[in-house]
Structure 1
Amino acid sequence: MSIITDGLSLASKKSIRDDFTNKIPELKKILNSITGFDYEFIVDFSKIHADTIKAVPENNEWLTKSLGNIAFQYFDSLISKIKMITEKDDLVRSDFIKIINNREIHLLTDPDIQNYNEISILDGNIYIKARSSNYVTNVGGVGYNVLDLLKSSDEVLPLNTKKNIRDSWEQQIPSLKKSLKQALGEDYEFVIDWEDIYLKAISANEENESKTDWVTSRLGEIVYAYFESLIGHINNYAKKDDLVKSEFVNVIHTKKFYFIYDEDINDYNAIEVKDGKLCIKVKPETLGTNSSIGYLIIDVIKDPNDVLPLRTKKSIRDEWEKEIPGLKKQLNKCLGEDYQFKVDFNEVYVQIVKANENNTDWFSKSLGNVIFQYFSSLIKNIENYTKKDDLIRQEFLDLTSTRTFHLVVDNEVEDYHDVKIIDGGLYIMVHPEKFGTNASPGYDIVERLHAPDSVLPVITKVNIRDQWTMKIPALKKKLKEAVRDEIEFVVDFDNIFKIAKKNSDSNGKWYKNKLGEIVYGYFEPLVANIIKDDMVRDNFVEIVNTKKIYLIFDEEVTDYNDIIVKDGALYIRVGPNYLGTNSNNIGYNIIDVL
C-alpha cells in the first residue's frame, strides 16, 4: 500500500491509520480471493486534502477528521462492484486480470471531471477520480460502470460486449437452432463477424453516445433479436407447409445464415438469398431498429433452377390447385361432362413479368388466384347460359370436343382478354400487359360459339328459336283462324344471314344477335294487314293458292321492302342493304297486290 501523508495534521493521520490503513487489508483479501493476485492501493492524502480544502474551505475541520474514512469508502465501493461482476463469471474475471495487469488502484482528485466521481483505466491501472468540490458526494456509486470500462488493448470488443454476446447470444442460440431443426430437419450454422459488426456500428453512430453505449452493452441481444424473429417466421411457415419446408431446405443448401451490413438496402433490414446462403442485411446506423424480420421470408426463397419463386408456387397450390376441383364439379353439373384445365404457369409467369417489370411483386404473390379468377368467371358465365338452355349446352359440348380449357398469354389480344375455341379446345387469351385487369371472361361466351360447318352462329340460332320458332305457331294460328286454312312461312335463314352479313358495314353483328326477331318483324305486320279485311282475306286464299309466304332478298327492290304474288305464293322482298328497316309497314298495300 502506498500512501502520502506529508504535511497533514495528527487528526488526519489518525483517521488515515484507523479508518484506511487498518481496513484496507480486508479489501485486498477480497480482491486476492477473486483474482488470485495482490493489488496495491495508492492515495496521495496530502494532495487530496489540499485540493478539497481549496475547493471548499469550510469543509476543513470535517475533512481533517474523516480523511481516511472517506478514502476507504471510495475503495470499498469500487471493490464491491468488482466482486459483483467477477466473482461468478470466469470471462469477466479473466479479462479483469488481463486488463488490470499493473495491479494498482489509485484514488485522486480532479476538478475537471463532469460527474461527482469517475473511473478510468490506463496502463493496466484503475483510477478513481473524485471532483474536488464534491469530494465524498455519491461515494457509494463508485465503480457502477467498471464493467463498461474493461477492454483489452489487443482486442476489438470491450468486455461488456463480449459478455453480452455470451449471455444473450451464445447461451440462447442452442434452443433457437433446436427449434429450427425441429421445423426443417436440418442443422444450420449462424455466421457473424462480431468485430466487424461492432466497429461499423460504433463508427456509424460515433456522434450518438447513447447509441454507441447501447450497442456496446447489448450487441449480442440486438443480433439475437433478428435471428429470433427470422427463425420464428421460418418455423411458422415450415411446420404448417411441406412445400415451404422442402423449398427452403433445397434453396439454403449451404445450411448457413449470415448477418451482414449493407448500406444499399431501402429499409431497416432485408433478407437476401444468394448462392445457397441466407443473409440478414442491416444498416450500421440503424442496427437494432425494427429487428422484426422474416415475415416476408417466402417472398425471397427461389430455387435458381426453377422459373417460379416459392411465393408463386404457394399461390398456385393454395389458390389454384386446391380450388380447381370445385370449379370442375361446377362445370360438370351444368354440362354433364368432365373438363381439364391447362395452364403453363412457367410461360405465363415469364411473359407477364417481362411485360410488367414494375409490378412483379403482385404477380408473384397472386398468380394462382388471378388465373383462378379467369376460369371462375368463365365457368360462371357458361353455367348461366347453359344450365337452362339445351341448345347452347349441346352446341358448347360439340364445339369443345377436347374437353379442355386453356389459359395463354397473347400479345395480339386487342382487349384485356379474349375467348376462342380452336380445334375443340377453349382458350382464354390474355394480353400480358393487362394480366389480372378485368379478369372476367365469358360474359359473351354465346357470341363466341360458331360451329365451323354451320352458317349460323349459336347466338343467331338462339334468337331464331326464341324470337321466331317459338312465336310463329301463335301467328300461324291467328292467320289460320282468319283465312280458314294452314299457311306456311318459308324463310331460308342461312341464306338471309349470309346476304345480310355480306351487305352489312359491321359484318352482320347486328343481324347476328337479332335475326329471328327481325324476320318475325316482317311476318307479324303482314299477317295483321291480311286478316283485318274480309275482302283481303278471301282474295288472299284464292290468289295465294300454294299457301306459302316467303321472305327473300331481291336486288330489284327499289324501296326498303315490298310484297308480290308470284306463281301462287306471296313474297316479302327486302333490299339487300335494308334488312329490318321499316319492316313494320310491310303489307300496308296488300289490297293492291292481291
Structure 2
Amino acid sequence: MPKPAPFTPKPAIEKLPLAVRKDIRDNFESEKEDLQKQVNDLLGNECKFNFNANEIWAYNADSNSTNCGGTLKNYATGFIYCLKSFINKYGDEGKDHFNGAVTQCEISVGVNPLGDKAPTINCEVKDGVFWILFNHTSLGYNCDYIGDYMLSAIENAPRDGLSLRAKHSIDEDYDSKIDDLKEELGGMIGVPDVVLDPNWDENFKALKAKSSSNDWEQNLGRTIYSYFEGFKDQLKYQGFKDDEMLQEGLAEVFESKKIVVRVVPKTKKTYNEAIIEDGVIYLQTTPEQWWVNTSQIGEKFIDLL
C-alpha cells in the first residue's frame, strides 16, 4: 500500500479581500495593543502577537466568511485565558520557564505540519517563538484548549535543571510535609538533626536519561517523599523507636546523619535497597523500578548494623 503523500501547506493569500482586511482592522488590530498588554502583565515581559493573516486565512473553509479578525482575536484571547491558568498554577516558576523558552517573546498561529494526523489545536515552541498550531480543516476551533498543550510546549524547549512539572510536584507533594516526617524519623532513631537529602538534580538527570516518557516528573516530589516515608516505617517496624541499643548501633555507622535518595544503574535487591557508605545511608533504586514498592525500602536494615 503506497504511503500517503506528505502534507503540503497552502500558499498564503496574495491579497486579502477588502471586507476581510476591514474585519482584521476592526476586530483584531484595534484591540491588539490591549491584548498584548494583558500578556505582558502576566509574564512581566514584552511579548507580541505576530499573526500572518494571509497565511492563516488560506485555511478558511467558508468562502462567504469575512471573520478573519474575529478568528485572530479568538486565538489571542484563548491564549491569554490559558496563560492565566498556567501562571495561576505554576506561579513565578511558570513565568520563568515560559520566558526562558519563548526567547523571541512572540506568539504566532500556523497550520500544523502533521496534516490529517494533527489534533484540532496544539502548541509548540520553535526557535524561541510560541506557536499555536491548528489542523488544516479546523481553523478557529478549540482556542480555549491551548492550555492543554501549553505545558508540554514549554517543557519540550531545551533547558537545564528540573522541569516545571517536577518543581510543582516538589512544592505540592514534598516541601509541605517533609519537615514533619524528618522530625518523626529523627526522634525515632535518636538523631534529631538528621538530614534528608532528596538529591533532586542528580536523580532527575538519571531518570531523564533512561525514561521514555515524562510522566514521572509530575510525581517527583511525592515519590521521593515515599522513599523517606517507607524507610521511616521500616525502622519503626524493626523496633528502633525507644530502643537505645538499636539507636546506639545505628549511631556508630551513621556519622554523617544524612539519608540520601539515589537512583543507580543497578541494585542488589530487586526493587530497592538501603545501604550504608561512608557514614551515609543511601536509599537506592533504579530508573526501571522507580516508585515501585517504596514501602519496602530498608527492609532488614537492622542486619547492616
* Global fold match (TM > 0.5): yes
SS at match of 2:98: helix
SS at 1:308 equivalent: coil
Are 2:134 and 1:300 aligned?
Answer: no
Does 2:173 align with 1:319?
yes
Deviation at 1:426, TM superposition (A): 0.8
Counterpart check, 1:406 vs 2:260: yes
Give the Cα–Cα distance (whole angstroms) in 2 for the partners of residues 344 and 181 of structure 1.
35
Structure 2: distance between partners of 1:156 and 1:439: 64
Change in CA separation of 1:165 and 1:380 when aligned onto 2, cut-off 3 Å: farther
Match of 1:309 among 148, 156, 163: 163
Distance 1:239 1:352, change over 3 A: closer
Instruction: Note if contact 1:299-1:310 (Cα within 8 Å) is conserved in structure 2.
Output: no
Asked which structure has the greater CA Rg, the reply is 1
Query: Letter of the aligned partner of 2:27 in structure 1?
Result: S
**1:250 is aligned to 2:103:** no
TM value normalised by structure 2: 0.82
- 1:351 matched residue in structure 2: 206
Aligned to 1:161: 20
Letter in 2 for 1:270: N
**One-letter amino acid of the counterpart of residue 434, structure 1:** Q
Counterpart code for 1:261: V
Change (3 A) 1:175 1:299: same
Partner SS, residue 278 of structure 1:
strand
Kept in 2, the 8 Å contact 1:271–1:279? The answer is yes
Indicate the RMSD between aligned Cα atoms, in angstroms: 2.5
Alpha-carbon distance in 2 for matches of 1:159, 1:227: 22
- CA distance in 2 between partners of 1:328 and 1:194 (Å): 58
CA distance in 2, matches of 1:321, 1:296: 27
Give the drift of 1:256.
0.8
CA contact (8 A) 2:255 2:280 kept: yes
**Residue 416 of structure 1 pairs with residue 277 of structure 2:** no
In 2, distance between residues paired with 1:296 and 1:196?
22
How far off its partner does 1:155 sit?
5.8
Cα offset, 1:404, TM superposition? 0.7
Quote the Cα distance in structure 1 between the aligned partners of 2:303 and 2:275. Answer: 7
Secondary structure at the aligned position of 2:141 is classed as coil
* Counterpart residue number, 2:247: 393
1:351-370 to 2 correspondence within 5 Å? 351-357=206-212, 360-370=213-223
Q: Deviations over 1:236-262 (max 9, x none)?
A: 333561111222223322111111112
> What does 1:149-548 align with in structure 2 at a 5 Å threshold?
156-199=15-58, 201-202=59-60, 211-213=61-63, 216-238=65-87, 241-264=91-114, 266-291=118-143, 292-302=145-155, 304-336=158-190, 337-357=192-212, 360-384=213-237, 385-413=239-267, 414-442=269-297, 444-450=299-305
SS at match of 2:261: strand
Q: Distance in 2 between matches of 1:365 and 1:281?
A: 25
Decide whether the 8 Å contact of 1:261 with 1:283 is kept in 2.
yes
What SS is found at the alignment partner of 1:271? strand
CA contact (8 A) 1:179 1:235 kept: no
SS in 2 for 1:440: helix
Question: d(CA) in 2 for partners of 1:323 and 1:278?
Answer: 36
Deviation at 1:418, TM superposition (A): 1.2
Q: 1:169-195 CA distances to partner (integer Å, 9 max, x unpaired)?
A: 223333322222222222211111111
Aligned residues: percent identity?
Answer: 24
Q: Is the 8 A contact 2:234 2:295 kept in 1?
A: no
- The one-letter code matched in structure 1 to 2:220 is L
- The structure whose RCO (Cα within 8 Å, separation 6+) is larger is 2
Gaps of 5+ in 1: 1-153, 203-210, 451-594
Q: 1:227 to 1:375 in 2, by over 3 A?
A: farther
The amino acid of 2:50's aligned partner reads: V
- Deviation, structure 1 residue 196: 1.0
SS of aligned partner of 2:294: coil
Asked if structure 2 preserves the Cα contact closer than 8 Å seen for 1:410 and 1:429, the reply is yes
| CA pair 330-163 structure 1, distance change in 2 beyond 3 A | farther
Count how many residue pairs are aligned between Structure 1 and Structure 2: 285
Task: From the superposition, tell whether residues 406 and 167 of structure 1 become closer, same or farther in structure 2 (CA, over 3 Å).
Answer: same
